[in-house]
DNA sequence: CTGAAAGCGCTAACAT
DNA sequence: ATGTTAGCGCTTTCAG
């Protein structure tokens, strides 16, 4: 690798010192306009690029936020990331993304890398497997701001940006009831993850409010994959008393269920209603289109990033920061709309 | 931010020097096992984390690969990234991802950030807008290895990892002809992007081979979005002599077309066949399921990463590295299978 | 407005 | 097997 141009090279060429070059490049007020102009011009000609490693080592900041998500190829997470990137950019920060595939080992690796590379903050949505938080305790121990979004560590006193998942699920299930469905199954995820426990709670609340008895047989917990949806619906529909609607805590699991139902000649929404969660783009593209709960993912990302910047800018680190909860929004589509019957 | 533990702290505590600590931590052969043990133990107790910024500044390597892709929420790119990450990890490298949303401005930003942070190499799939390559010339000017995958800069003499898109398209269109379709429309992307020009070429070759005349009216170029698919199919089906099949150079544009056709009561594949490209996961989940061309995305990522490591390990930088072309694979699904008619 | 000098935390010759 | 020393490229007091 050829030698890169440094501020020393520029200094030598302009018969000045590195301090002046450094200041000029960063538009410091105490440098004459004439000098700034000369420096900027030469920098351009010589194709100078600041060495962030050196700058950051010196300043003690990496100007980088680390983001940990289970899967980057989900619209929900991709949108959150876009939200984060937008805010980060205006602050001159860059965003480093790391995906865990819901594996706790990969999550540990990500955190470890972030700690070594000295990211200035970690924004994370934990994986399905994550029920132990030592690796995250490390982050706090090293005084790196840690902000959770969507899937959070509740035992922590860190900032969290979440949806009101109880409300989202409540709306979804209430909507199904409004449409005349009587026996609603729940496909959810592991209870140790806040969002799934809350979506279950919303489901329970909605049924309770209408005085409908809970049937534990209709409640399934799985990993929310497409395949899990196929599996669960197959089992559930075999019950003596099968459901006439399914509320799934994720869009992929809902899709698996929906496709199995179609293949087995159930009419949707006439015979059975289906509602998903997260409002992935495909929900709008399949047929019947899938009713789902939108989580304002981009907003969530923006808030998470803003929270980080508020945190590092506040001089009083001891203030108790409230967690933020965003109201989700039910998007009603064909898979649950049988009012006309 | 509290002071982080440094090797100096460890050195002081063990009454030795930073060199010894540094060597012990990196398992240098000239350090006694006893000392290594002491150092490792203390490091663990004190929760020491190497400061990569300092280490990299000193060693002149960042141990980081920068990956630039148009969209992270596409299965194709997500899989390529997974492939890259896998190889990178075995080499002790980390991967930094940056998405451009197909915008050239964002692409420039990404490259600029990567150059500043001194990534050791750049792997890129260029955006739809990218028809000017100054920002990429910069990379080469700074002697940073630059490797293209899928969407490449052809004028460059950099390494490229691509599919044989001509072959992929040829197979797809030949398959449609085999199924008895006569008038096949092409929805492709801008001609200045290699993959779209090649997929068009494959389409032309397949028709030519069967002695079918090309009808320019059946050839559309758009941005390959879902919406573009809707728009294009609507226009194309209004032709006096509409097509009985569509070969789309992307899955999303194919999906837009397919949904519009369904909504307008065309039977697929009976009335009209549809084939997409990239084998996104959803192609398997929609109905009718969508025939598509698999690009061996994960493999492509692995090769791209391997190429990078080969490059930095080879002492003779002047060897001419051949570009790599991977054979795509047609996955036949319901949307094009009407043989039984 | 500009320069001199120290040092961020680590690595790697070059000693011993 | 360990220590000494210099320095990666930059920022930032402190001096002038």
Let me know if residue B335 belongs to a domain. no
Whether the pLDDT of residue B341 is over 60: the answer is: no
| Residues in B touching A142 (Cβ below 8 Å) | 2, 4, 47, 49
> Helix H segments across chain A?
7-13, 18-25, 33-46, 52-59, 75-90, 104-116, 134-141, 165-178, 194-209, 226-237, 251-263, 297-313
Task: Tally the domains of chain A.
Answer: 3
Statement to judge: residues B120 and B237 lie in one domain: no
Q: Environment class of residue B216 by beta-carbon count within 10 Å: exposed (0-12), middle (13-18) or buried (19+)?
A: exposed
Q: How far apart are CA B149 and CA B241, in angstroms?
A: 38
- The pLDDT value recorded for residue A133 is 87
* Residue bearing tokens 């290699």: B194
Task: Measure in Å the smallest separation between the Cα of A108 and chain B Cα atoms.
Answer: 14
Whether the pLDDT of residue B316 is over 90: the answer is: no
Statement to judge: residues A169 and A155 lie in one domain: no
A121's tokens = 């903050």
Question: For B26, left (φ over 0), alpha (ψ -120 to 50), or beta?
Answer: alpha
Of B4, B143, B286, the CB nearest to A286: B286
Mean per-residue pLDDT for A270-286? 96
Peptide bond into B142 cis (omega under 30): no
CB distance B250 to B258 below 8 Å: no
Q: How far apart are CA B199 and CA B207, in angstroms?
A: 13
Gap from A26 CA to C7 C1', Å: 20
CATH number at residue B187: 3.40.50.2300
Whether the pLDDT of residue A1 is over 50: the answer is: no
CB distance A214 to A221 below 8 Å: no
B286's tokens = 């929609």
B95's tokens = 């991967």
Q: How far apart are CA A246 and CA A253, in angstroms?
A: 10
Q: Which nucleotide is nearest to B9 (CA to C1')?
A: C9
Task: Measure in Å the smallest separation between the Cα of A319 and chain B Cα atoms.
Answer: 15
Statement to judge: residues A209 and A282 lie in one domain: yes
Residue of A nearest to B121 (CA): A1
Gap from A20 CA to C2 C1', Å: 7
Whether the pLDDT of residue B113 is over 50: the answer is: yes
Statement to judge: residues A67 and A155 lie in one domain: yes
- The pLDDT value recorded for residue B154 is 86
- The pLDDT value recorded for residue B340 is 59
Whether the pLDDT of residue B133 is over 90: the answer is: no
Let me know if residue B101 belongs to a domain. yes
Say how far residue B329 (Cα) sits from the centre of its chain: 17
Residues 12-51 of B with CB under 8 A from A: 47, 49-51
Mean per-residue pLDDT for B255-284? 96
Mean per-residue pLDDT for A108-116? 92
User: Is beta strand A273-275 parallel, antiparallel or unpaired with respect to A245-248?
Assistant: parallel
Mean per-residue pLDDT for B73-93? 94
User: Which range, of A229-233, A271-275, B86-90, averages the lowest pLDDT?
Assistant: B86-90
Statement to judge: residues B154 and B222 lie in one domain: no
Statement to judge: residues B40 and B80 lie in one domain: no
- The pLDDT value recorded for residue B318 is 57
Mean per-residue pLDDT for B231-247? 97
Question: What would the pLDDT profile of B159-213 be if each residue is shown by its tens digit?
Answer: 999 999 999 999 999 999 999 999 999 999 999 999 999 999 999 999 999 999 9
Domain residues for A249? Answer: 165-294
User: CA of B253: how far to CAs of A42, A285, B247, B292, in Å?
Assistant: 47, 12, 10, 12
Mean per-residue pLDDT for A85-112? 92
- Among B112, B271, B316, smallest CA distance to A52 is for B112
Q: How far apart are CA B241 and CA B255, in angstroms?
A: 22
Task: Measure in Å the smallest separation between the Cα of B97 and chain A Cα atoms.
Answer: 6
At CB < 8 A and 24+ separation, what contacts does A55-61 make?
A56/A118, A56/B53, A57/B51, A57/B53, A57/B54, A57/B57, A60/B1, A61/A120
| Residues in B touching A278 (Cβ below 8 Å) | none
Statement to judge: residues A262 and A273 lie in one domain: yes
Gap from A287 CA to C16 C1', Å: 78
Whether the pLDDT of residue B94 is over 80: the answer is: yes
- The pLDDT value recorded for residue A323 is 84
Let me know if residue A145 belongs to a domain. yes
Q: How far apart are CA A177 and CA A267, in angstroms?
A: 18
Say how far residue B119 (Cα) sits from the centre of its chain: 18
Say how far residue A88 (Cα) sits from the centre of its chain: 15
Q: Environment class of residue B24 by beta-carbon count within 10 Å: exposed (0-12), middle (13-18) or buried (19+)?
A: buried
Let me know if residue A57 belongs to a domain. no
Q: How far apart are CA B94 and CA A117, in angstroms?
A: 10
| Residues in B touching A52 (Cβ below 8 Å) | 116-118
Cβ of residue B324 lies below 7 Å from strand C: no
> What percentage of chain B reaches a pLDDT higher than 90?
85
Partners of residue B123 on adjacent β-strands: B67, B147
Strand (E) or helix (H) holding A324: strand A324-326
User: Is beta strand A159-163 parallel, antiparallel or unpaired with respect to A146-149?
Assistant: parallel
Residue B313 pLDDT class (50, 70, 90 cuts): confident
- The pLDDT value recorded for residue A318 is 57
CB distance A236 to A271 below 8 Å: no
User: CA of A297: how far to CAs of A14, A75, A83, A274, B139, in Å?
Assistant: 50, 9, 8, 22, 34
A192: number of CA atoms within 13 Å, CB side? 11
Statement to judge: residues A114 and A87 lie in one domain: yes
Whether the pLDDT of residue B1 is over 50: the answer is: no
A297's tokens = 């993912």
Q: Where are the beta strands (DSSP E) in B155-306?
A: 159-163, 184-188, 219-221, 245-248, 273-275, 292-294
Residue of B nearest to A286 (CA): B286
Whether the pLDDT of residue A158 is over 90: the answer is: no
Q: How far apart are CA A100 and CA A199, in angstroms?
A: 23
Q: How far apart are CA B135 and CA A250, in angstroms?
A: 40
- The pLDDT value recorded for residue A160 is 94
Residue A139 pLDDT class (50, 70, 90 cuts): very high
Question: What would the pLDDT profile of B30-69 be if each residue is shown by its tens digit?
Answer: 899 999 999 999 999 999 999 999 999 999 999 999 999 9
Let me know if residue A338 belongs to a domain. no
Whether the pLDDT of residue A317 is over 60: the answer is: no
- Among B237, B319, B243, B250, smallest CA distance to B283 is for B250
Residue A131 pLDDT class (50, 70, 90 cuts): confident
Residues 301-340 of B with CB under 8 A from A: none
Peptide bond into A288 cis (omega under 30): yes
Statement to judge: residues A82 and A159 lie in one domain: yes
Question: What would the pLDDT profile of A50-94 be if each residue is shown by its tens digit?
Answer: 999 999 999 999 999 999 999 999 999 999 999 999 999 999 898
Q: How far apart are CA B301 and CA B95, in angstroms?
A: 12
Q: Is the dihedral of CA B262, B334, B229, B216 positive or negative?
A: negative
- The pLDDT value recorded for residue B110 is 92
Statement to judge: residues A178 and A287 lie in one domain: yes
- Among A177, A179, A185, A181, smallest CA distance to A238 is for A185
Determine which of A52, A62, A314 to mutate to test the interface with B (most B C-beta atoms within 10 Å).
A52
Entry pTM: 0.91
Let me know if residue A82 belongs to a domain. yes
- Among B45, B25, B295, smallest CA distance to B161 is for B295
- The pLDDT value recorded for residue B9 is 93
Cα dihedral B93, B94, B100, B105 in deg (nearest 10)? -70
Q: Is A287 on the interface with B (CB under 8 A)?
A: yes
Whether the pLDDT of residue A225 is over 70: the answer is: yes
Write the DSSP symbol of residue A328.
P
Q: How far apart are CA A302 and CA B132, in angstroms?
A: 32
Q: How far apart are CA A258 and CA A249, in angstroms?
A: 14
Task: Measure in Å the smallest separation between the Cα of A113 and chain B Cα atoms.
Answer: 8
Let me know if residue B277 belongs to a domain. yes
Are residues B51 and A74, on separate chains, in Cβ contact within 8 Å?
no
Statement to judge: residues A24 and A92 lie in one domain: no
CB distance A159 to A323 below 8 Å: yes
CB distance B39 to B13 below 8 Å: no
Statement to judge: residues A209 and A290 lie in one domain: yes
In sequence order, what are the residues at sequence separation of 6 or more whose Cβ sits closer than 8 angstroms to the Cβ of residue B314?
none
Let me know if residue A94 belongs to a domain. yes
φ, ψ of residue B296 to 5 degrees: the values are: 50, 55
Residue of B nearest to A5 (CA): B142
Q: How many Cβ contacts (< 8 angstroms) between chains A and B?
A: 108
């Amino acid at each position: 690798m050829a030698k890169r141009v440094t501020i020393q090279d520029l200094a030598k060429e302009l018969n000045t010192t590195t301090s002046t070059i450094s200041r000029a490049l960063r538009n410091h007020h105490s440098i004459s306009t004439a000098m700034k102009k000369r420096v900027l011009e030469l920098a351009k000609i010589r194709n100078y690029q600041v060495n962030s490693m050196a700058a950051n080592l010196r300043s003690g900041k990496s100007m980088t936020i680390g983001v940990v998500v289970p899967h980057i190829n989900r619209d929900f997470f991709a949108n959150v990331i876009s939200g984060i990137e937008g805010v980060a950019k205006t602050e001159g920060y860059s965003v480093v993304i790391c995906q865990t595939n819901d594996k706790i080992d990969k999550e540990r690796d990500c955190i470890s890398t972030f700690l070594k590379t000295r990211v200035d903050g970690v924004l994370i949505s934990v994986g399905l497997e994550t029920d132990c938080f030592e690796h995250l305790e490390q982050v706090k121990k090293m005084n790196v701001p840690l902000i959770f979004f969507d899937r959070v560590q509740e035992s922590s006193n860190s900032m969290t940006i979440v949806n009101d998942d109880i409300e989202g699920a409540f709306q979804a299930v209430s909507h199904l009831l409004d449409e005349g469905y009587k026996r609603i199954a729940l496909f959810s995820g592991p209870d140790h993850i806040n969002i799934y426990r809350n979506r279950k709670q919303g489901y329970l609340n909605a049924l309770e409010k209408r005085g409908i008895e809970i049937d534990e047989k209709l409640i399934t917990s799985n990993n929310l994959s497409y395949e899990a949806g196929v599996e669960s619906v197959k089992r559930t529909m075999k019950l003596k008393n099968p459901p006439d609607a399914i509320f799934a805590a994720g869009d992929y699991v809902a899709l698996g269920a929906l496709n199995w139902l179609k293949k087995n000649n159930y009419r949707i929404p006439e015979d059975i209603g289906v509602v998903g969660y997260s409002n992935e783009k495909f929900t709008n593209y399949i047929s019947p289109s899938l009713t789902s709960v939108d989580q304002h993912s981009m907003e969530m990302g923006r808030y998470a990033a803003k929270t980080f910047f508020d945190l590092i800018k506040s001089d009083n680190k001891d203030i108790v920061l409230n967690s933020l909860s965003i109201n989700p929004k039910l998007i009603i589509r064909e898979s649950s709309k049988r009012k006309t019957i």
